[in-house]
Structure 1
Amino acid sequence: MPEPTGAEPAGPTGTRKFQVGEAANPPVPAGSGSAAVPPPRERSRDESVEPTTTEDHLEAPEDRTPVDPWAGADTSGWDLPSAGLPPAPPVPPRPYSGLAGPVSAPPTEHPVVPPPPPAPTNYPIPTPPPAPTNYPAPTPPPAPTNYPAPTPPPAPTNYPAPTPPPHVRPGPKGYGPTRARKRRRWPWVLLLTIACCCGCPAYWITPVVNQFPASAALPDEVKDLRLREDDHSARTAAKLEAQVDEAHWMASDTFAGVYRTRAGKQVTVFGGTGFWFRPESKAEGEIARLTDRYALDEAQVFDTGIRGRHGRCAVGHDDGTDVVVCTSADHGSIATAVFTRLSVDDSATLLGALREQIVTRN
């Protein structure tokens, strides 16, 4: 139905109304990427809103065949190359939270592990660079000289003085402590060494020097004793000298004699001189030699008062008369006497007096 003349256009303000026979859709330039969209058809006031199927009615937009907006366009740049990524690992199922939801399948016993990427092979081994050769030796830096001496740090003050050790004694006022001098012990060690090396031998050598060599000679009188020179006394003395020479074959000189007092006491003395290293054993051997001759009892030791001289006495019998046999031996001589009518102590004392008169040191 044509609109009345002079009425306002039915479309929006500012739009132009197409004339009869003018195309509703203007031509679209090719390659613009847009399709022509038909404008909405105007209905008349008396037209029903129900769709009609008359042949002269235009087709609705939703009933038209869709048009590809990219038809004829170059879309080759949108094809992206595949990166060749490995397939994504399976997502483990969520733990049950109590809410309704899709139930996932329980995990299999052996989870699917994606295969590792292939290891690169047949790569060329890099060649190490050649070692540098024929390089000049580095020159050592010059030694530092004429450097100023470092200044020592200042000594700490107002600190408590340390306690000196026991062997350090305090010094005089204004001076530090001094170390106590150790006593020199080497003189004592030297003296002890000399004493051991020389003293011990001297202790044993002194008696030998004082007693050897010696000589013997019978005096005519010794106290109240008189030397008898009759034939019987001379034969007795000669017999005793022979026995002494036989018993002590190392003796250099022998002696024998018979003495008598006015009271009738008789003393027979005999012995010899020489060197004896062990005079004690010599005195014991002499008493043992005379035991059978005089039927001696057990020997008794008496002190001679002289170091290195040893004495023995024993009681016996001679032709039914009681006698005391005493002997005294040292490093240079041996003297034996047979006493009648005297005690053991008196006999030992008288033998010492006879030795002093008979034996002399050369």
Structure 2
Amino acid sequence: MRGRTVIAGVGHTRYGKHPGRDRVALIVEAARNAIADAGIEKDMLDGVFVKMANSAPSILYGQQVAQALGLRPRMGCALDQGGAANVSLISFAALAIEAGMIEMALICYGDTPRTGSHAVYHRPRGEEAAYGWYSTAAGYAMIHQAYRNRYGAPDTHFGAIAVQARANALGNPHAHLRVPLDMDTYLASPFVVEPLRRDDCCLLSDGGAAVIVCSARRAKELALPRPVPILGFGQGQESWEVHLRPDLLDTMAAESARTAYRMAGVGPEDIGVAQIYDCFTVTVLQTLEDYGLAPRGQAGALALAEGIGPEGALPLNTSGGLLAESGTPGLQLVIEGVRQMRGDARLQVKAPKAGIVSNQGGSMHTHATLILGQPA
């Protein structure tokens, strides 16, 4: 599968608040932009893969999206893996293309949790809600505390992730949050669920995003500009709820990365830029270590000492990530990864050999990894 499929086009809406906008309309806008970026005709798309909307899940959502796009795809679906769904859908599309079932797929997402319903994020968590376990943040607070306890990580290790995300988003015209953050401000920010501070938590954002996947052969036939090869992908899923896990820091992200590295024929040492799912700062530290990009317990120290900015040792979330660009679940990270490999990102990293993207859903329940290469 290495390099046999490519991401041929990317597109998105502005991120932030879209009062009164329908989530499907946001997908249509993002898809139109991706089609224009790829330089194709809409009717070339014969696969439509949609990440389920968090704010309002519905039956046959994928078909609603295809109808709004004016398409009758040979293959289509809506998938729920939480925030891991978008990279997973890219891998499923690549497999379908390789199997000859479709030729060109649209992978897309749109939602309005900022101005619509965000109940899914603060719902009670089972019987444990009687003891105060409400919201997505509660599970991550347990993971954050476990990480601090095991490694003795100071708050500045988590703060380094938040501060750099804000710095990367400052000049991004599409970003939801373009407000600078320094370490003192981070340390003074209020607790949401202790030990999680406000700036440890990602945004809730309205917006839409889309990418187009086809075979490398098809991209060459159509002379598409700068298709980015998909070198590898992988998945891993944790079956247990947070409070049932014997080890809160043992995740399936490591297995997801191993699968992707093996397919891509590269290792952590080959990664020149990373777009890591940053729903919370602890997620970034844990994923960097699971991906072999930092020693255990040392991701925060690496961020502080060697830097995670565009000119640092490991450039990270160069458009601002979920903490600053958009709280939408993960496709914006893929788009930034594509732009980095094409060489047209706003904060461009110098000639990365390969880029890695992580997606993650639930409370570190689902993991999906994507490795991108340089265009031919």
Fold match by TM threshold 0.5: no
TM-score, length-scaled by structure 1: 0.21
Larger relative contact order, structure 1 or 2 (CA cutoff 8 Å, min sep 6) = 2
**Larger CA Rg, structure 1 vs 2:** 1
TM-score, length-scaled by structure 2: 0.20
